Amino acid sequence: MSHVDTFRPGAGELPARDAIPARYRWDLSSICASWDEWNRLYQQLDASINAFTSFQGTLAAGAATLLAAFRAMDDMGALSYRVWYYAALQYDEDQRNNQANARRQQVQILFARQQQASSWFNPELLAIPLERVREWMAADQGLALYRFAVESLFHEQEHVLDESGERLLSYSGRFNSVPQESYSALTTADMRFPTISLASGERVTLTYGQYRALLETNRQQGDRAAAYRSFHQTYADNQNTYAALYNGVLQRDWFHARARGYASTLDAALHGNKIPTSVVENLIAVTRQGVEPLRRYHRLRRRVLALDTYRLFDVFVPLVAHDAKYPYDEVGTWIVDSVAPLGSTYQRRVREAFEGRWIDVFENAGKKSGAYSAPVYGTHPYMLLNYNETLDAVFTLSHEMGHSMHTWLSHEAQPFVYAGYTIFVAEVPSTLSEALFLDLMLERVETSRERAVLLQHAIDSIASTFYTQVMFADFELQAHRLVEQDEPVTADRLNAIYAGLLREYYGNVIDEEEISRLTWARIPHFFSTPYYVYQYATCFASTAKLMQDLRSQDSATRGDGVERYLSLLRAGGSDYPMDLLSRAGVDLSQPDTVRAVASELDMLVGRLESELASA
């Protein structure tokens, strides 16, 4: 079977975009037929933004005007997806395209105006007594649709201050981001990356990318050690500055929590999504009890790599050398096959994504790096990849497909106001999609060697997406508690917390390395988005729990699990994430849910051990 228009990425120069056959490039005509149509939509959005101000001052008049304002806001929102993505996706195809870039910026300017033009809406709605809005919603079916939106807005309101309090807090907006911006300047603009000599005599400058690649591929432990130590030394050299900046983050968070009347910084971070603090505390406590499979994996690695000392710079090298290529044209059918457990309708949709040109597959000159799924309301989602035929690239495709199906099912089932979903559930479908794909691949590949490669991939992703993120959440919580308890925050204190965590999670399985205690200084999330990373871990636990039913031998359990899972996807953002998950059978406040990850890891490490024995 030969395709005239087949294509595979090669080494060397990047192809120009038009050298890649059309079927590997996304077809954006379902968003807009042309720039002419885009112009018309842009004008329409512009006009509806201007028109929206006419609702100001009318909300309290009654159910009818409130409903009309809600609907006008939805129409504006739906339109803005198409106007934004038509320009943004074309810009990402080739970021040297100045015309697309200019139009994309034009939309950003319009969005800023849209925000100003609707900023009166929430305060005006919140000024109406909630009881009255509830009566309106009970009497008016159209308005009843907005019940969750209204209730959650009033819920957030619980910690909003009076006008003078809010004005005072708003003045702090200008310096809230100073610690984070200073961190970013120090680690990018002002960063001096070290250069080291490898055993081969080659000199390497350790940019982030080079450093990471070296730990993942270099088989000389001495090279890895040199890279790790020099890289971390650059942070050690400025550790007191990093500690002072992080103290700025902690003090800011505590200032805002206290100003708004929260008991702790964690309470403040979780209130919006109505997540009980016990979820994070439970996550950390249960994970600490479930570190044995993680240690088992590292003991296995130390043995297989035949290393006398085994340190944090040894945890990324592959156990089995493997350079198989996965041509895109073959992988598509595997991805479609892998979702069979989710039913034929779901499967047909995944096929449609491949055949309907939703995916921009290969790298070309000027294209944005990385991968994403773009939730374009009003049509189907689009996916950007830089597919390079590695195993990582295949799993990335499966991951983005999970996001896209979530978007599609949610957009189809929900009204605009609930079509989007929060990060707290977003990584469930993507990781579940990867888990299904792993199951299929383990069945299909023929040698123990290949199975070992797959198992290591899955295990590493549990180690990095679950255990490491929980450890990070653990660190953030302990650090925030220092300021909450009026304790000083110094580099020594932060180093001591981190060193303690490394012992807690790895025991004596990974040999201690003095400089590892500084790791906190190189994690940008700590400085930019406090209390964020735990959500990767809760998503991962939810997936592990859901997969237990999906893998069940009992067909009724399986069928029920699939139905609950698909309902979760269709529910979009129509309720609080904890409620959505609990209807899908996942209770994150229960230790069992978190334990599902440790059991899965244990099962995978056991399999890896036996595959390696026969490889």
Name the H helices within 359-467. 391-413, 423-444, 448-462
Give the nearest distance from C-beta 457 to Zn ion in angstroms: 16
Are the C-beta atoms of 57 and 127 separated by less than 8 Å?
no
Crossing angle of helices 555-570 and 534-550, rounded to 10°: 140
Nearer to Zn ion, 285 or 371 (CB): 371
CB-neighbour burial class of residue 308 (10 A; exposed 0-12, middle 13-18, buried 19+): exposed
Give the nearest distance from C-beta 410 to Zn ion in angstroms: 15
Give the nearest distance from C-beta 402 to Zn ion in angstroms: 8
Q: Which residues contact 255 (CB under 8 A, 6 or more apart)?
A: 172
Q: Which CA distances in Å does 493 have to 176, 240, 482, 526?
A: 23, 11, 9, 16
Crossing angle of helices 534-550 and 277-289, rounded to 10°: 70
Give the nearest distance from C-beta 427 to Zn ion in angstroms: 5
Q: Which residues contact 185 (CB under 8 A, 6 or more apart)?
A: none
Give every strand in the sheet of 359-360, ordered side by side. 359-360, 382-384, 372-374
Give the Cα separation of 430 and 435 in Å (integer).
Answer: 9
Are the C-beta atoms of 322 and 450 separated by less than 8 Å?
yes
Q: Which CA distances in Å does 326 have to 220, 323, 333, 387, 395?
A: 27, 10, 12, 10, 11
Nearer to Zn ion, 332 or 429 (CB): 429
> In the numeric block, which tokens belong to residue 199?
């055993």
> In the numeric block, which tokens belong to residue 102?
């200019």
Nearer to Zn ion, 346 or 536 (CB): 536
Site map 496..535 versus Zn ion, x via CB under 5 A: ----------------------------------------
Pseudo-torsion of CA 488, 490, 494, 500, nearest 10°?
A: -80
Give the nearest distance from C-beta 536 to Zn ion in angstroms: 9
Site map 429..468 versus Zn ion, x via CB under 5 A: -x--------------------------------------
Nearer to Zn ion, 279 or 539 (CB): 539
Q: Which residues ranging from 320 to 359 are in contact with Zn ion (CB under 5 A)?
A: none
Q: Which residues contact 565 (CB under 8 A, 6 or more apart)?
A: 342, 432, 546, 550, 584
Nearer to Zn ion, 129 or 524 (CB): 524
The strand pair at 359-360 and 203-205 is best described as unpaired
Nearer to Zn ion, 239 or 543 (CB): 543
Count of residues of this chain found to bind Zn ion when the rule CB under 5 A is applied: 1
Nearer to Zn ion, 253 or 427 (CB): 427
Half-sphere exposure of 69 (CA within 13 A, CB side): 23
Give the nearest distance from C-beta 429 to Zn ion in angstroms: 9
SS (H, E, C) 235-301: HHCCHHHHHHHHHHHHHHHHHHHHHCCCCCHHHHHHHCCCCCHHHHHHHHHHHHHCCHHHHHHHHHH
Give the nearest distance from C-beta 400 to Zn ion in angstroms: 7
Site map 88..117 versus Zn ion, x via CB under 5 A: ------------------------------
Give the nearest distance from C-beta 519 to Zn ion in angstroms: 23
Nearer to Zn ion, 302 or 399 (CB): 399
The 10 Å Cβ neighbour count of residue 513 is 16
**Collapsed DSSP state (helix, strand, coil) of residue 509:** coil
Site map 393..432 versus Zn ion, x via CB under 5 A: -------------------------------------x--
Residue with tokens 């085994």: 310
Q: Which CA distances in Å does 111 have to 88, 114, 319, 352?
A: 13, 5, 49, 32
Q: In the bound complex, which residue of the shown chain has the CB atom lying closest to Zn ion?
A: 430
Q: What is the DSSP string of 45-109?
A: HHHHHHHHGGGTT-GGG-HHHHHHHHHHHHHHHHHHHHHHHHHHHHHHH-TT-HHHHHHHHHHHH
Nearer to Zn ion, 145 or 383 (CB): 383
Nearer to Zn ion, 42 or 421 (CB): 421
Nearer to Zn ion, 364 or 535 (CB): 535
Would you mind telling me the total number of residues written for the chain in this entry? Answer: 615
Give the nearest distance from C-beta 14 to Zn ion in angstroms: 25
Give the nearest distance from C-beta 430 to Zn ion in angstroms: 4
In the chain, what is the straight-line distance between the N-terminal and C-terminal CA atoms, in Å?
33
Nearer to Zn ion, 317 or 473 (CB): 473
Nearer to Zn ion, 111 or 372 (CB): 372
The 10 Å Cβ neighbour count of residue 570 is 16
Give the nearest distance from C-beta 399 to Zn ion in angstroms: 6
Backbone angles phi and psi of 477, in degrees to 5: -65, -45
Give the Cα separation of 534 and 424 in Å (integer).
Answer: 9
Nearer to Zn ion, 286 or 419 (CB): 419
Give the nearest distance from C-beta 406 to Zn ion in angstroms: 10
Give the nearest distance from C-beta 341 to Zn ion in angstroms: 20
Give the nearest distance from C-beta 528 to Zn ion in angstroms: 18
Nearer to Zn ion, 187 or 433 (CB): 433
Give the nearest distance from C-beta 424 to Zn ion in angstroms: 13
Residues forming the site for Zn ion (CB under 5 A): 430
